[in-house]
Amino acid sequence: MTSRFNPHAAEPRWQAAWEEAGSFRANDASPKPKSYVLEMFPYPSGRIHMGHVRNYTMGDVLARFRRMTGHEVLHPMGWDAFGMPAENAAMEKKVHPGDWTRQNIAAMRAQLKRLGFALDWSRELATCEPDYYGHEQALFLDLFKHGLVYRKESAVNWDPVDMTVLANEQVIDGRGWRSGALVERRKLSQWFLRITDFADELLDGLKGLDHWPDKVKLMQENWIGRSRGLRFRFAITGDVPAGQDMLEVFTTRPDTIFGASFAAIAADHPLALALAERDAALATFADECRRTGTAAAEVETQEKRGYDTGLRVVHPLDPEWTLPLFVANFVLMDYGTGAVFGVPGHDQRDLDFARKYQLPVTRVVATTADTADEPIHDEADTRDGVIVHSRFLDGLKVEEAKAAVIARAEADGWGQGTTVWRLRDWGVSRQRYWGTPIPIIHCDSCGAVPVPKDQLPVVLPEDVSFDVPGNPLDRHPTWKHVPCPSCGKDARRETDTLDTFVDSSWYFIRFASQPDDRPFDRAVAEQWLPVGQYIGGVEHAILHLLYARFWTRALRRTGLLDIAEPFSGLFTQGMVTHETYFDTDEAGRTLWYAPEEVERTSDGAIARSSGLPVTVGRVEKMSKSKKNTVDPGPIVDQYGADAVRWFMLSDSPPERDLPWSEAGIEGAWRFVQRLWRLTEANDAPEGEDKDLARKLHRAVAGVAADVEALSFNKAVAKIYELANAIEKAAPSATRTGAAETLIRIVAPMVPHLAEEAWARLGREGLVADASWPEVDPALLVDDEVTIAIQVNGKLRDTIMAPKGTDRPTLEALALGSDKVLRLLEGRTPKKVVVVPDRLVNLVA
Partner RNA sequence: GCGGACGUGGCGAAACCGGUAGCCGCAGCGGACUUAAAAUCCGCUUCCUGAUGGAGUGCGGGUUCGAGUCCCGCCGUCCGCACCA
Binding site membership for ATP: which residues?
624
Site for RNA in 236-255 (CB under 7 A): 250-253
To RNA, the closest distance from the beta carbon of 674 in angstroms equals 6
Q: Which of 16, 21, 332, 733 binds RNA (CB under 7 A)?
A: 332
Site for RNA in 407-436 (CB under 7 A): 422
Rounded Cα distance, 487 and 118, in Å: 52
* Amino acid (one-letter) located at 752: H
Residue positions forming the annotated binding site: 624
Q: Which of 69, 179, 244, 292 binds RNA (CB under 7 A)?
A: 292
HEC assignment per residue over 718-730: HHHHHHHHHHHCC
Residue 184 main-chain phi, psi, to 5 deg = -105, 160
Q: Which of 92, 300, 516, 764 binds RNA (CB under 7 A)?
A: 300
Q: Which of 248, 334, 463, 680 binds RNA (CB under 7 A)?
A: 334
Rounded Cα distance, 290 and 279, in Å: 17
In 305-413, the DSSP E strands lie at 306-314, 322-328, 339-342, 365-366, 386-387
Q: Which of 650, 734, 741, 817 binds RNA (CB under 7 A)?
A: 650
Q: Which of 122, 455, 615, 792 binds RNA (CB under 7 A)?
A: 792
Rounded Cα distance, 24 and 22, in Å: 6
Residue 721 binds to RNA (criterion: CB under 7 A):
yes
HSE-up of 654 (CA within 13 Å, CB side)? Answer: 32
| Length, in residues, of the chain | 844
Neighbouring residues of 661: CB distance < 8 A, sequence distance ≥ 6? 578, 579
To RNA, the closest distance from the beta carbon of 68 in angstroms equals 22
Closest CA to 439 of 515, 502, 364: 502
Q: Which of 16, 106, 296, 369 binds RNA (CB under 7 A)?
A: 296
Residue 302 binds to RNA (criterion: CB under 7 A):
yes
Closest CA to 409 of 315, 495, 271, 538: 315
Q: Which of 652, 736, 741, 817 binds RNA (CB under 7 A)?
A: 652
Q: Which of 659, 731, 737, 836 binds RNA (CB under 7 A)?
A: 659
Q: What is the largest CA-CA distance in the chain?
A: 109
To RNA, the closest distance from the beta carbon of 383 in angstroms equals 12
* Amino acid (one-letter) located at 768: A
To RNA, the closest distance from the beta carbon of 238 in angstroms equals 22
Rounded Cα distance, 456 and 443, in Å: 18
For residue 623, give the H/E element and its range: none
Residue 831 binds to RNA (criterion: CB under 7 A):
yes
Nearer to RNA by Cβ, of 337 and 628: the residue is: 337
Q: What angle do CA 637, 668, 697 make, to 5 degrees?
A: 130
Residue 538 binds to RNA (criterion: CB under 7 A):
yes
To RNA, the closest distance from the beta carbon of 670 in angstroms equals 4
Nearer to RNA by Cβ, of 252 and 368: the residue is: 252
Binding track over 759-788 against RNA, x by CB under 7 A: ---------------------------x-x
HSE-up of 579 (CA within 13 Å, CB side)? Answer: 18
To RNA, the closest distance from the beta carbon of 31 in angstroms equals 34
Nearer to RNA by Cβ, of 250 and 326: the residue is: 250
Q: What angle do CA 461, 467, 468 make, to 5 degrees?
A: 95
Site for RNA in 728-747 (CB under 7 A): 728
Stretch that binds RNA, among 64-72, 559-567, 803-811, 832-840 (CB under 7 A): 832-840
Please, are residues 360 and 261 in contact by the beta-carbon 8 Å criterion? yes
Rounded Cα distance, 268 and 287, in Å: 9
Site for RNA in 340-359 (CB under 7 A): 340, 347, 349
Stretch that binds RNA, among 42-50, 143-151, 210-218, 385-393 (CB under 7 A): 210-218
Q: Which of 141, 331, 359, 398 binds RNA (CB under 7 A)?
A: 331
Q: Which of 21, 106, 218, 487 binds RNA (CB under 7 A)?
A: 218
Site for RNA in 700-719 (CB under 7 A): 711, 713-714, 716-717
Residue 229 binds to RNA (criterion: CB under 7 A):
yes
Distance of CA 78 to the CA centre of its chain: 19
Closest CA to 103 of 154, 56, 162, 46: 46
To RNA, the closest distance from the beta carbon of 2 in angstroms equals 8
Rounded Cα distance, 53 and 181, in Å: 31
Site for RNA in 467-486 (CB under 7 A): none
